[in-house]
Amino acid sequence: MNSADLGRRVGVPSTALFTDQYELTMVQAALKAGTADRRSVFEAFTRRLPEGRRYGVVAGIGRVLDAVENFHFDDEMLAFLRDQNVVDGPTLDYLADYRFSGDIWGYPEGEVYFPGSPILRVEGSFAECVLLETVILSILNHDSAIAAAASRMSAAAGGRGLIEMGARRTHELSAVASARAAYIGGFDTTSDLAAGFRYNIPTVGTSAHAFTLLHDSERDAFRAQVDSLGRDTTLLVDTYDVTAAVRTAVEVAGPELGAVRIDSGDLLLVAHRVRQQLDELGATGTKIVVTSDLDEYAIASLAAAPVDAYGVGTQLVTGSGHPTCSMVYKLVARAASADPADELRPVAKKSMGAKSSKGGRKWAARRLDEDGVAEAEVIGTGPVPAELAGRQLLVELVRGGEVVAREPLDAARERHIAAREGLPMSAMQLSRGEPVLPTEYV
């Protein structure tokens, strides 16, 4: 594998302060109590899927691995913690030497998940594991929400092209993460150059309405773009009058015109009219790209329209109504000491309502029916049944503090396509419903 397939390892600052203060104060109290080094197992999971969703999509694992590697406290950070009296001297000494030295297992990126799925399992001392809670949840909750929205849009698109173009609708760093997650979920390209630079995602883009308005006429604008970018460019045709613009576009670029973009109006009606006009003008190979506040429902409504690609922004980078997956990170097992021979004891929060959790270090497997279609997410803490041994979902990600499972982004994208195709057909329905697979505990 070419190292370039993994994207550029862009330098980032330490992730150690991407955390909540109580993570550090827990470490301080545990150090004083002599319990900080107790061998512990934490798991990230969600108790439920967002309302109406049939499955979740794991995204952000690669970014989590980067965050774990970069989680260390430099002198300036330690001075800040000292000056703000966040923790005491012995805790500052512990943090100064902090490097995660434990093990991490998890669902590989692109895999689907369901309520209770142990998406990430982090093992090590209590202190070193608890410090990672906030940054892990921050990444997984955001990226998996975007990937789930992207997957639904990809399913609705039915093989037509998808362009991620939400950079201007979210925080500039979230935009890069969103483009990455969208690519995993099935999008083909991004307009965000930072995402292309960092993750090798194909980038696209030509012009906005401002470029047309800059020129004395629409014809002048089209001519300038074609002269610069070639006949196979995409011309934006809804600045003034779509019918007139399409005619001008073909006159300027010829029937070799690559595509036209429509960004307003009744997209279903306009797309049909534009397709007919292009064909009548001899531009039968010219594609039609539509944008304008699309989501999975709008994309599905255009299934019968002669559309070749969709550009999606706001709804994608905000998770199409569900900007988080509500994942949590809970201690599920711990030993009485740091001794590897000491037995891990299941622990779990017991509370009224829906916030209880299940203790124990878990494995997960997906059971298939006789046709090879997934029929249940099976989760257990004891021996893995022989019939499920080859269907286990967790893979080793970090061993002894060292990352062992980096992979190209395309691998996660391909894995998601395969995982989604392995679900029952009802998983692709956009109507509200329960998770497409039940979660069984054994």
The domain limits of the chain are 29-145+324-441, 151-321
The answer to whether 302 touches 271, Cβ cutoff 8 Å, is yes
Burial of 347 by CB count in 10 Å (0-12 exposed, 13-18 middle, 19+ buried)? middle
Residue 149 has what pLDDT? 98
Residue 3 has what pLDDT? 46
Residue 432 has what pLDDT? 84
The answer to whether 44 touches 119, Cβ cutoff 8 Å, is yes
The sign of the torsion formed by the CA atoms of 390, 109, 412, 165 equals positive
Q: Measure the CA–CA gap between 203 and 194, rounded to whole angstroms.
A: 10
Tell me how crowded residue 233 is: count the other CB atoms within 10 A of its CB.
18
Q: Measure the CA–CA gap between 57 and 208, rounded to whole angstroms.
A: 32
Q: Name every residue whose Cβ is closer than 8 Å to that of residue 366 and which is 6 or more positions away in sequence.
A: 374, 376, 377, 378, 391, 393, 422, 437
Q: What is the pLDDT of residues 53-83, one digit of tens each?
A: 999 999 999 999 999 999 999 999 999 999 9
Q: Measure the CA–CA gap between 401 and 398, rounded to whole angstroms.
A: 6
Q: What is the pLDDT of residues 209-256, one digit of tens each?
A: 999 999 999 999 999 999 999 999 999 999 999 999 999 999 999 999
Same fold, 29-145+324-441 and 151-321: no
Residue 353 has what pLDDT? 65
Domain 29-145+324-441 class, CATH top level: alpha beta
Residue 5 has what pLDDT? 60
Q: Which residues in the chain show pLDDT less than 70?
A: 1-12, 352-354
From the list 172, 224, 221, the residue with the least C-alpha distance to 194 is 172
Residue 355 has what pLDDT? 73
**Superfamily assignment of 151-321 in CATH?**
Aldolase class I (3.20.20.70)
